Amino acid sequence: MHIHIHILGICGTFMGGLAVLAREAGHKVTGCDAGVYPPMSTQLEAQGIELIEGYGPEQLSLEPDLFVIGNVVTRDNPLMEEILNRGLPYVSGPQWLGEHVLNGKWVLAVAGTHGKTTTSSMLAWLLEDAGLNPGFLIGGVPLNFGISARLTDSSFFVIEADEYDTAFFDKRSKFVHYRPRTAVLNNLEFDHADIFPDLAAIETQFHHLVRTVPGVGRIVTNGREAALERVLTRGCWSGVERFGVEGGWQALPATDGATVDEQFAVYWEGARQGVVDWQVQGEHNRMNALAAIAAARSVGVPAAQSVKSLSSFRNVKRRMEVKGSVDGVTVYDDFAHHPTAIDTTIAGLRTRVGASRILAVLEPRSNTMKLGTMKAQLPSSLADADLVFGYGAREGRDKLGWDLADALSPLGAKAQAFNEIDPLVKAVTAAARPGDHVLVMSNGGFGGVHQKLLDALSARCAASTNKGTA
């Protein structure tokens, strides 16, 4: 039965993907949000989904059959208050997805503090390249597909499984709604300080996820993570495969004396499965690849086939994505915002660029970062950058609750903090030299800083050319 659903908070990566799936399933979809920005807004408009700015109660005149509520929606939201006052039907996004899209599918869920989007994208590509035509919902745009979500008639569905809470009325982690048969536990450390008091509280949510995996299902887990071992010790009823450790899945040099940066051999229980030859850097991505290979094997894709498929894997938008190059200065966009992700992202770029200078431009705007829980870890995560430019908004919803300049002070003269975008752009442009790599890291739009930097570099280049010909 096709109905009209109206989605509150439609421009988040998860809810936007859900909107695409609902539309593909034949439902009429409309939605609203505040502060709409690409890539999700453009993706939704391309799908013909009507977007309404803000949460005005007049949207009730659309008379949808059901309101689907994103977890950005809180009490005191004017539209939500009116829905509650009138007793209109509503449901959380994860619950709607679990009941109407995932039900009856072999769900492959990718959970973990880091690497969920990349690993989900890899896994969807491995199944696609093997001819399994999977459906998927990923919190980013995998470049192999160009979209973050799709619905197919395949039995298989890959989903990025977030531990963040479901909705203001359901404080369980989103992933308990997904009922996976294959669950990837990529890694686990403290994050989401706005909703979890400590690491143990997150471990409990992962334990709840493990409880939903059937006995015939498979758990693929990072064997190096003590937190995940604690989770499994609390109870496990499914087959388990570990990656990153001897006896499980391993990424090792393909030949004696070789490095593993662009080519590595995959081993399972000591037996060589093949060699991955790709353009994706970093130890974290090799771990992501092992997890994806193991998960794909759980639905019948041989490891040797997956190893070949990874050679044509293209990464995800906003994962070390080159936005442009002007006058020998390359500008990248990356989603990194947690100190561990910042550290691994800089390390990955360092592997690629060697001794060239890296100028790190950071906006710490996730809820965890805004609370200041991780601020003490920032300097060490940025230590391998040559120069650091931090941005902390003074007001608005991205306002920092702490002093960024003070937090970066252990880095000394190589770090500067700004509370406005334009002075930051000016400082980066003044510092940048041909051969430099400008790495912009944020989990938001960052005031369009990437294009502003490229424009400023172009203007500088044009000015020096004019000066030379004058």
* Contact (Cβ atoms closer than 8 angstroms) between residue 122 and residue 193: no
Are 301 and 343 in the same domain? no
User: Do the domain assignments include residue 385?
Assistant: yes
Structure confidence at residue 257 (pLDDT): 74
Cα–Cα distance measured from residue 172 to residue 305, given in angstroms and rounded to the nearest whole number:
37
Is residue 261 scored above 90 in pLDDT? no
Q: What is the mean pLDDT of the chain?
A: 89
Residue-wise pLDDT for 33-88, tens only, equals 997 666 677 778 888 899 999 999 999 999 999 999 999 999 999 999 999 999 99
Structure confidence at residue 58 (pLDDT): 97
Cα–Cα distance measured from residue 18 to residue 27, given in angstroms and rounded to the nearest whole number:
11
112 known ligand binder: yes
Out of 36-50, 84-98, 256-270, 456-470, the most confident range is 84-98
Tell me which of 44, 68, 92 is where a domain ends: 92
User: Do the domain assignments include residue 257?
Assistant: yes
What is the pLDDT averaged over residues 228-235?
Answer: 97
Cα–Cα distance measured from residue 355 to residue 433, given in angstroms and rounded to the nearest whole number:
14
Burial class of residue 429 in the structure, from the number of CB atoms within 10 Å of its CB (0-12 exposed, 13-18 middle, 19+ buried):
buried
Structure confidence at residue 444 (pLDDT): 73
Per the model's pLDDT, the better-predicted residue between 463 and 254 turns out to be 254
Structure confidence at residue 394 (pLDDT): 66
Sequence-distant (≥ 6) Cβ neighbours of residue 333 within 8 angstroms: 318, 321, 323, 440, 450
Cα dihedral sign, 18-23-28-34: positive
Is residue 16 scored above 80 in pLDDT? yes
Residue-wise pLDDT for 94-105, tens only, equals 999 999 999 999
What is the pLDDT averaged over residues 437-459?
Answer: 87
Tell me which of 312, 334, 367 is where a domain ends: 312
Structure confidence at residue 167 (pLDDT): 95
Instruction: State the CATH number of the domain containing residue 425.
Output: 3.90.190.20
Sequence-distant (≥ 6) Cβ neighbours of residue 448 within 8 angstroms: none
User: Do the domain assignments include residue 294?
Assistant: yes
28 known ligand binder: no
Instruction: State the CATH number of the domain containing residue 207.
Output: 3.40.1190.10
- Give the SS3 label for residue 133: coil
Confidence of residue 318 (pLDDT cuts 50, 70, 90): low
Structure confidence at residue 82 (pLDDT): 98
Confidence of residue 452 (pLDDT cuts 50, 70, 90): very high
* Contact (Cβ atoms closer than 8 angstroms) between residue 109 and residue 213: no
Are 155 and 197 in the same domain? yes
- Which has the minimum average pLDDT: 173-187, 231-245, 397-411? 397-411
Is residue 24 scored above 90 in pLDDT? yes
**Global pTM value:** 0.73
Are 435 and 382 in the same domain? yes
What is the pLDDT averaged over residues 4-27?
Answer: 93
117 known ligand binder: yes
* Contact (Cβ atoms closer than 8 angstroms) between residue 294 and residue 243: yes
Structure confidence at residue 45 (pLDDT): 84
Structure confidence at residue 46 (pLDDT): 84
Are 25 and 75 in the same domain? yes
User: Do the domain assignments include residue 364?
Assistant: yes
User: HSE of 66 in the Cβ direction (CA atoms, 13 Å)?
Assistant: 19
Cα–Cα distance measured from residue 420 to residue 66, given in angstroms and rounded to the nearest whole number:
41
Are 24 and 80 in the same domain? yes
390 known ligand binder: no
Instruction: State the CATH number of the domain containing residue 76.
Output: 3.40.50.720
Structure confidence at residue 192 (pLDDT): 54
User: Do the domain assignments include residue 342?
Assistant: yes
Are 142 and 198 in the same domain? yes
Per the model's pLDDT, the better-predicted residue between 192 and 299 turns out to be 299
Are 221 and 287 in the same domain? yes
* Both tokens assigned to 240: 């388990």
User: Do the domain assignments include residue 99?
Assistant: no
Is residue 141 scored above 80 in pLDDT? no
Domain that holds residue 28: 4-92
113 known ligand binder: yes
Confidence of residue 279 (pLDDT cuts 50, 70, 90): confident
* Contact (Cβ atoms closer than 8 angstroms) between residue 29 and residue 22: yes
* Contact (Cβ atoms closer than 8 angstroms) between residue 346 and residue 358: yes
Are 371 and 465 in the same domain? yes
429 CA to centre of own chain: 28
Are 66 and 174 in the same domain? no
Is residue 239 scored above 90 in pLDDT? yes
Structure confidence at residue 146 (pLDDT): 83
SS3 content of the chain, % helix, strand, coil (to 5): 40, 25, 40
Residues above pLDDT 70, as percent of the chain:
93
User: Do the domain assignments include residue 464?
Assistant: yes
Cα–Cα distance measured from residue 244 to residue 292, given in angstroms and rounded to the nearest whole number:
12
Residue-wise pLDDT for 169-215, tens only, equals 999 999 999 999 999 999 887 665 565 667 888 899 999 999 999 99
- The count of domains in the chain is 3
Are 325 and 206 in the same domain? no
What is the pLDDT averaged over residues 264-276?
Answer: 95
Structure confidence at residue 348 (pLDDT): 79
User: Do the domain assignments include residue 461?
Assistant: yes
Cα–Cα distance measured from residue 212 to residue 60, given in angstroms and rounded to the nearest whole number:
36
DSSP 393: B
Are 308 and 338 in the same domain? no
Are 47 and 148 in the same domain? no
Question: Which string of DSSP letters, residue by residue, matches 287-345?
Answer: HHHHHHHHHHHTTT--HHHHHHHGGG---BTTSSEEEEEETTEEEEEE---SHHHHHHH
What does residue 275 show for φ and ψ, rounded to 5 degrees?
-120, 130
* Both tokens assigned to 468: 């030379």
What is the pLDDT averaged over residues 18-37?
Answer: 90
Confidence of residue 262 (pLDDT cuts 50, 70, 90): confident
Select from 351, 228, 219, 208 the least CA-distant residue to 279: 351
